Amino acid sequence: MTRSLFTPFTLRETEFRNRVMLSPMCQYSATDGMATDWHQVHLGTRAAGGAGVVMTEATAVEPRGRITPNCLGIWSDDHAEALESTVEFVASQGATPGIQLAHAGRKASHRPPHEGGDPIPADDPDGWETVSSTDRPYPVGEDASVDPAATRRLDGEGIDEVIEAFVDAAARSRDIGFEVAEVHAAHGYLLHQFLSPVTNDRDDEYGGSFENRTRLLREVVAAVREVWPDGKPVFVRISATDWLPDRDSWDVDDSVRLAPLLAEAGADLIDVSGGGTHPDQQIPSAGPGYQVPYAEAIREGTDVPVAAVGGITEPTHADALVRNERADLVALGRELLRRPYWPLEAAHELGADVEWPVQYRRGQFD
């Protein structure tokens, strides 16, 4: 059978009903990290809408790992319990529930975008001290009304605590039924901060050489893999490039080199995005599929399965990415915000026979 957007895809012993993935997108709707009704409706709607993999937003593994005070977390059993009914509903609709395990590092302690996105000082009741590979805070823009929170360089004990936080969060996610664990190492957040020479100015075993800068991510992936069921996959989201061509930075060649090391550590798929390290980044024209070449380069250079993301909106385009073996999964973000039932519409346009929820079959296309 020719591969297409609506052919199943299997990793380990987990079968995804199709190749469409809801890309992780922050909702800024949690209370002290706790999931709310919004998360169940948001994620559940995309599952009922036909997505193959429904991935949570960046879910912090510890309180200081949140991007904003309103971000989702899973650093306690209570946080896991708050997500459990959402996981059950997503699975009941035939989708594969996934969780993105995240730590914002020095990009933590910010206001949500709809409140201006400014950094929150550590002495503000809503703020906290951030941690990173460096003691340099994330740069603020000229329009920022406040200075960033203080940033503390993680020492060896702090690094061990971060790894343990990822492990504990993965174990909680496993116990409430998530089928995919995705380690977030993109967009300038903590694990990306260790990868990139732009943000990693260390001279210990976690800094300097490529091997050292990638060490923490490899250790986190291996540690998560240890507690994740053998039959279920681990994803890793990376920024394939910092989009900083005029300085020593992380680039696509680094990502191609990293991918097999992540596979060796236990990753089953690389979810390929870009940027986020520094506000001076030079983002290319964001046309349809503008980041697909990064995923394709990793897939061709390493033979590791990949998810492609970035400006993918048309069913024929998404289908061609899979059919032409440029990507194994197609991650949609903004388009699934606009059109939560996009997979059902896409299947009709492509002539694929897919199952509709019984409650919606009266609206099924003729």
Q: Which residues are catalytic?
A: 189
CB 62 within 8 A of CB 75: yes
* Residue 160 CB partners (closer than 8 Å, separation 6+): none
Please work out, in degrees rounded to the nearest 5, the angle formed at the alpha carbon of residue 331 by the alpha carbons of 330 and 337: 135
Q: What is the DSSP letter of 47?
A: H
Query: 123 burial class (0-12, 13-18, 19+ CB within 10 angstroms)?
Result: exposed
Q: How far apart, in whole angstroms, are the C-alpha atoms of residue 158 and residue 138?
A: 19
Within 13 Å of residue 284, how many CA atoms lie on the same side as its CB?
16
In the chain, DSSP assigns E strands to: 9-11, 14-16, 20-22, 53-60, 96-102, 130-132, 151-153, 180-185, 234-239, 269-273, 306-309, 329-332
Listing DSSP states for 230-264 in one string gives TTS-EEEEEES--S-TTSS---HHHHHHHHHHHHH
Q: What is the DSSP letter of 362?
A: G
Q: How far apart, in whole angstroms, are the C-alpha atoms of residue 86 and residue 204?
A: 42
250 to each of 164, 214, 261, how far by Cα in Å? 26, 11, 16
Structure-token match 């090391």, residue found? 261
Structure-token match 């992936």, residue found? 221
Listing DSSP states for 124-187 in one string gives STT---EEESSSSPPPPPTT-SSPPPPEEE--HHHHHHHHHHHHHHHHHHHHTT-SEEEEEE-T
